[in-house]
Structure 1
Amino acid sequence: MAPKRATRSTSVTTTLAPTATTTTSVTNAQLQAMIDQCVTAALAARDANRNGDDSHTSRTGGRRTERVARECAYQDFMKCKPLYFKGTEGFVELTQWFERMETIFRISNCSIENQIKFSNCTLLAGALTWWNSHVMTVSHDVAYVMT
């Protein structure tokens, strides 16, 4: 049979006046009940102060202004450190390159019109040679509207 656990008693000091104090013994269960009661009261007070429409208002009473997303520039795209692709790495690395580029497009808020332009700047060696021959075959306008 496991030994019984003793309940620890915690002392609480209450100040009644600047010169008089009393000490009361409080068990852990009583202390937890007091904490729970205070948390419940604080949550109720917070809920009472809300507008009820869950509008994410700040404490100033006004609605937060939503930031307008700024379109990605080439510098913003490059700050996300895209992977470079040579074309010799194989299928797995090509798949990882695609996934990384799509993630960077989302993070940097890159417009669809700029995605091909920015991503082809990460091509090196054989991949860059392939891209340049593709552009020569279909023209810049057609190549840059690819999805």
Structure 2
Amino acid sequence: MAPKRTTRSTPVTPAPTATTTTVTEAQLQALIDQGVAAAMAEAEASRVRNGYNSNGSGPRPAQTARECSYSEFLKCKPLDFKGTEGVVGLTRWFEKMESVFSISNCTASCQVKFATCTLQDDALTWWNAHVKTTTPEAAHAMPWATLKKMMTDKYCPRGEIKKIETEMWNLKVKGTDVVAYSRRFQQLALMCSRMFPEEIDKIEKYIGGLPDMILGSVKASKPKTMQEAIEFTTELMDEKTHAYAERQAEKKRKYDDLSKNNQNQQQL
């Protein structure tokens, strides 16, 4: 007879009691609002990453810099250069040309090509001779700074530059005419760049040429740029000359009154 099987009873572990957290209706709505806001922000960020407009209408067009045409360059009225204008004329041509580059948004790749189209007479003959030594493509590809150096070496003789530097060293205000002094100083400074490695060197030279009546005050103002120095100098000189004119007018008025009183006393 087979033995009886005995069965072991496996103890049953009771399930843990779940804890519940009470959420109010207001808190639930706040959580929903936060989720919606986060989803909208992510969607907007995704559109931006994929190049779409904020309204989802389609990809935004890429903003590319537009090169100016030669006709647009000419509308800014660049100066012509013939090669006989001397140092002052060449310097003004450089200055005007760089202004035209800025206004017309002329790219670096077009600067020499467009600028050399304004050369005439001797200057044009010189440029054409240079082009023949290379190719038009290579000549036009040179940097603007290289063309400036070539033209300076050609049209600014060393002796003439020396004379200009000497004039700069000896330049001073004549009388009280700081306007004429400032104008001539700026013209010479363009041609004497090697004399002023830093802006402060130019400012110190400018102040050094002022009359004693304003020199100390301008120096004490410690201008940071040439424009600041010139504006302060002009304003200060205007104040000085105006005050001087008022004092002279007051002296004349007193003298006239005194003369009139003397005449009246003599008539009595």
Q: TM (normalized to structure 2)? A: 0.29
Task: Considering fraction of residues, name the structure with more helix.
Answer: 2
- In structure 1, the residue matched to 2:106 is 110
TM-score for both structures, normalised by structure 1: 0.52
Tell me the residue number matched to 1:78.
74
Say whether residues 1:129 and 2:114 are aligned partners.
no
Q: CA deviation at 1:142?
A: 1.9
Gaps of 5+ in 2: 1-62, 144-268
Give aligned pairs, total: 81
| Deviation by residue 1:6-53 (Cα, 9 ceiling, x = unmatched) | xxxxxxxxxxxxxxxxxxxxxxxxxxxxxxxxxxxxxxxxxxxxxxxx
Deviation per residue, 1:51-107 (Å, 9 max, x gap): xxxxxxxxxxxxxxxx86532110110000100000011011101101110110011
Q: Are the counterparts in 2 of residues 69 and 109 from structure 1 also a CA contact under 8 Å?
A: no
SS in 2 for 1:138: coil
Match for residue 92 of structure 2? 96
Letter in 1 for 2:70: Y
Superposition map of 1:1-147 within 5 A: 69-147=65-143
Alignment partners' CA distance in 1, 2:89 and 2:75:
21
Whether contact under 8 Å (1:72, 1:108) holds in the other structure is yes
Provide structure 1 residue ranges, at least 5 long, that are not aligned to the other structure. Answer: 1-66
Distance in 2 (CA, whole Å) between partners of 1:99 and 1:77 is 15
Displacement, 1:141? 2.3
* Cα deviation digits, residues 119-140 of structure 1 (max 9, x gap): 1110000000000000001221
Aligned partners of 2:118 and 2:90: how far apart in 1?
Answer: 12
Ranked by relative contact order (alpha carbons within 8 Å, sequence separation 6 or more), the top structure is 1
**2 CA distance for matches of 1:141 and 1:124?**
20
RMSD between aligned residues: 1.4
Q: Distance in 1 between matches of 2:108 and 2:65?
A: 15
- Name which one, 1 or 2, has greater alpha-carbon Rg: 2
Q: Moved runs in structure 1, 4+ residues, more than 4 A? A: none
What is residue 4 of structure 1 aligned with on the other side? Answer: none
Higher strand share: 1
Say whether the 8 Å CA contact 1:84–1:122 is kept in structure 2. Answer: yes
2:124 is matched by which residue type in structure 1?
Answer: L
